[in-house]
Structure formats: structure tokens, C-alpha cells
């Protein structure tokens, strides 16, 4: 994979499906030794946005 000039990377379809990264999913990067970890952003408890 390559990072585009806009800083974008495409997550392969098999990984998006396996880990539930659907359109609109908010993510965050967590620095780790040797790189970054991409995880789904957690919503604070009690914050239901399904209304």
C-alpha cells in the first residue's frame, strides 16, 4: 500500500469486512513502538447517536 499525496490509504476490502470498518466508521490511530495501530473510535458511554 502507498499513502497518497493527501495522506490517504485504502484499507483492503477483506480487512474492512472482517473488522467491520463500514462507511462512516470513525477511527483513531494509536502510536506504538515501530508504527501506528488503527482502531475503531469508541463512543462515550451513554451517548446513543441512533436517534
| Entry pTM | 0.64
Digit-coded pLDDT (tens) for 9-44: 999 999 999 999 999 999 999 999 999 999 999 877
The full set of domain ranges for the chain reads 16-43
**pLDDT surpasses 70 at 46:** no
Measure the N-to-C terminal CA separation of the chain; round to a whole number of Å: 37
Buried residues in 20-38 as b, exposed as e (16+ CB within 10 A): eeeeeeeeeeeeeeeeeee
Give the pLDDT confidence score for residue 49 in this predicted structure: 61
Give the three-state DSSP class for 29.
Answer: strand
Amino acid at each position: 500500500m502507498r499513502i497518497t499525496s493527501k495522506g490517504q490509504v485504502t484499507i483492503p476490502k477483506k480487512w474492512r469486512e472482517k473488522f467491520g470498518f463500514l462507511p462512516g466508521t470513525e477511527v483513531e490511530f494509536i502510536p506504538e513502538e515501530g508504527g501506528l495501530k488503527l482502531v475503531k473510535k469508541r463512543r462515550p458511554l451513554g451517548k446513543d447517536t441512533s436517534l
